[in-house]
């Protein structure tokens, strides 16, 4: 569950307000220094702050909009499209020089217009560029945004978690760790392990069993 800043919650719960503006911090270079462009999805320049700081920052008006976040249907990683007008050629130039800007960070701030003097009154979403396409006729760039884990190719969990099977490599000594930190017990003479809890118990070593008995055996329905 996402936690929202108290000032942001107060703003969105007001009976009357001037609305919310979307501000974007787009990473455009990685070396020799990390560089950013700051855009306002509004028809005027917005003076606010760099995300998560009190440093003032000017956000320039631009034809930039973020599509709805794609819901996770269990078959693929959720993604969202960032659409940027490329009429000034700035974004197109960065794409050509930075290999499509793949892996670069995009941060979106949703800020109540009445709270632009409050450096913490915003909702922050963080994404990373996974791919980009251009529409030369419309002079528009479409960025596909996703999570940092998806960009890095991280698999969660990083190993198979089984109820009744130990994942550890057994060599009769490394598996003989004591429950006391830094203490090791004498090695077993038994060089064979079936990698199940009963075999672990026969060696008085259940504390180091690498299975997950709490997973259960029945299917769960929601």
Residue 192's pLDDT band (cuts 50, 70, 90): confident
Q: For Cα atoms 66, 71, 77, give the angle at the middle one, nearest 5 degrees.
A: 90
Task: Check whether 166 has a pLDDT greater than 70.
Answer: yes
Q: Locate 73 and state its tokens.
A: 């249907």
Q: In this predicted model, what pLDDT tens digit does every residue of 6-54 receive, in sequence order?
A: 777 777 777 677 788 999 999 999 988 899 999 999 889 999 999 999 9
For the residues of 88-152, what is the DSSP string, one character each?
TSHHHHHHHHTGGGTT-EEEEEEEEGGGTT-TT--EEEEEEEEEEEEETTTTEEEEEEE-HHHHH
pTM: 0.64
**Gap between the Cα atoms of 148 and 195, Å rounded:** 35
Q: In this predicted model, what pLDDT tens digit does every residue of 91-145 receive, in sequence order?
A: 888 888 888 898 999 999 999 998 999 998 899 999 999 988 888 777 788 899 9
Nearest one of 108, 110, 112, 111 to 18, comparing CA atoms: 112
List Cα–Cα distances, 114 to 16, 47, 111, in angstroms: 10, 12, 8
Q: Hey, where are the domains in the chain?
A: 6-152, 157-213
């Amino acid at each position: 569950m996402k936690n929202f800043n108290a000032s942001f919650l107060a703003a969105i719960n007001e009976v009357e307000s001037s609305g919310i503006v979307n501000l974007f911090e787009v990473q455009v270079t990685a070396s020799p220094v990390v560089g950013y462009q700051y855009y306002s999805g509004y028809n005027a320049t917005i003076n606010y702050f760099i995300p998560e700081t009190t440093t003032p920052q000017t956000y320039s008006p631009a034809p930039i909009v973020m599509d709805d976040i794609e819901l996770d249907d269990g078959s693929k990683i959720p993604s969202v499209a960032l659409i940027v007008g490329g009429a000034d050629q700035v974004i197109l130039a960065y794409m050509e020089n930075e290999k499509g800007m793949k892996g670069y960070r995009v941060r979106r701030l949703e800020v109540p217009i009445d709270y632009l003097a409050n450096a913490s009154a915003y909702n922050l979403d963080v994404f990373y560029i996974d791919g980009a396409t251009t529409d030369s006729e419309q002079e528009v760039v479409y960025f596909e945004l996703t999570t940092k884990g998806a960009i890095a190719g991280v698999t969660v969990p990083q190993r198979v978690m089984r109820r009744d099977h130990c994942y550890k490599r057994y060599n009769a000594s490394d598996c003989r760790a004591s429950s006391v930190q830094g203490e090791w017990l004498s090695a077993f003479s038994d060089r064979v392990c079936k990698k199940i809890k009963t075999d672990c118990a026969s060696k008085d070593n259940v504390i180091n069993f690498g299975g997950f008995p709490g997973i259960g055996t029945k299917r769960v329905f929601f």
